[in-house]
Amino acid sequence: MNNIRIGFIGLGNMGKPMAEQLLQAEYPLTVFNRDQEKQSPLVKLGAKAAENPAEAAAESDFIIIMVSDDRAIKAIFEGENGLSHINLKDKIIINMSTVSPGISKEIAALCQAQGGEYLDAPVSGSVKQAETGQLVIMVGGKHAAFEKTKPILNVMGKLANLVGDTGAGNNAKLAINSLLALYAQGLAETVLFAQEKGIEPAALLELIGNAAIGNTFTKIKGDAILADNYKAAFALKHIVKDLKLAQAEGISTPLVSAALKTFESAEKQYGEEDIIAILKALDIK
């Protein structure tokens, strides 16, 4: 068993399989989730359950956070039994959530004031990649902290790169998710256009899959379209959040601006469904 102790906060669609990868690698793991029922499957696999974020972090050397947004991060640090209430000396906080660079800089300063380190380390990939340890991880922060953390990141991902100082990982993720929005909307529009012209989606998607424009995303989301399966692997509401974060950081290019309008208009009806449910929003007849 590895003697490096890890606290893991946030056991949603992505956090749970990521935590499972760490357990399989025999890291001692303490887990916390706001809905504590989600801790049970990890406890059955050998994790220790915590009552709150502070307890998850107190006995850990590294603390991984995988939650939904800036507000959740602030609650984990500043709320009752939050991380700001414990001694963070010599601990490394790894925030793998997709959040703003601003919140990362704020929390990094808090950690450093207490003698700890902070890395923003969001991931590219969905549930399948999390389940198989094939995520791509982009990291912002100090090189020394990254080097200490890399063996842990390599358990959860196939690639972990330091891309700059605090907040750089967040900016890289916002750039990638802006492209993700364009992929999803482009694929949906392409399928709908071909369908209008009498071409079956299955026939079109086979062509795309064998052409230079085919990729893992078009394969996974193409299969979802054919199966009429819009269960959220990456919820449409989250791409709206990410595009707004990118917009707040200054992105104003024509395609991303148009995509934000499209996804934002679809959010009320399809926000809890997968990103590729944008096809249903566009299929207005």
**In a 3-state reduction of DSSP, which class is residue 110?**
helix
Structure tokens that stand for 186 in this block = 């482009």
| Alpha carbon 89 to chain centroid, angstroms | 27
pLDDT tens digits, 98-146? 999 999 999 999 999 999 999 999 999 989 999 999 999 999 999 999 9
| Tokens coding 202 | 């299955």
Catalytic, 173? Answer: yes
Q: Which of 16, 91, 142, 173 is catalytic?
A: 173
Neighbours of 212 (CB within 10 A): 6
- Res 285 pLDDT > 60: no
Q: Please state, in angstroms and as integers, the Cα–Cα distance from residue 269 to each residue in 91, 137, 256, following that order.
A: 42, 31, 21
246 three-state secondary structure: helix
Mean predicted confidence (pLDDT) in 27-37? 94
Residues 260 and 247 sit within 8 Å (Cβ to Cβ):
yes
Percent of the chain exceeding pLDDT 70 equals 99
DSSP label at residue 49: E
**Residues 72-104: pLDDT tens digits?**
999 999 998 999 989 999 999 999 999 999 999
CA distances from 30 to 27, 61, 64, 84, 88 (A): 10, 11, 10, 18, 16
Q: What angle do CA 242, 248, 254 make, to 5 degrees?
A: 80
Based on the number of CB atoms within 10 Å of its own CB, is 29 exposed (0-12), middle (13-18) or buried (19 or more)? buried
Q: Ramachandran region of residue 58, left (φ > 0), alpha (ψ -120 to 50) or beta?
A: alpha
DSSP for 66-95, please give it: --SSHHHHHHHHHSTT-GGGS--TT-EEEE
Higher pLDDT, 59 or 129: 129
Helices 201-210 and 216-226 pack at an angle, to 10 degrees, of 170
The whole-chain average pLDDT of the chain stands at 96
Residue 185 and residue 183: Cα distance in Å, rounded?
Answer: 6
pTM to 2 decimal places = 0.94
Specify the pLDDT at position 2.
Answer: 79
Q: What is the mean pLDDT of residues 144-160?
A: 98
Evaluate if residue 8 carries a pLDDT over 80.
yes
Q: What is the pLDDT of residues 196-227, one digit of tens each?
A: 999 999 999 999 999 999 999 999 999 999 99
pLDDT for position 1: 64
Q: Where are the beta strands (DSSP E) in the chain?
A: 6-9, 29-32, 48-49, 62-65, 92-95, 117-120, 123-124, 135-140, 157-164
pLDDT confidence of residue 59:
85
Element (H, E) at 184: helix 168-196
pLDDT (0 to 100) of residue 131: 96
> What pLDDT does residue 284 have?
74
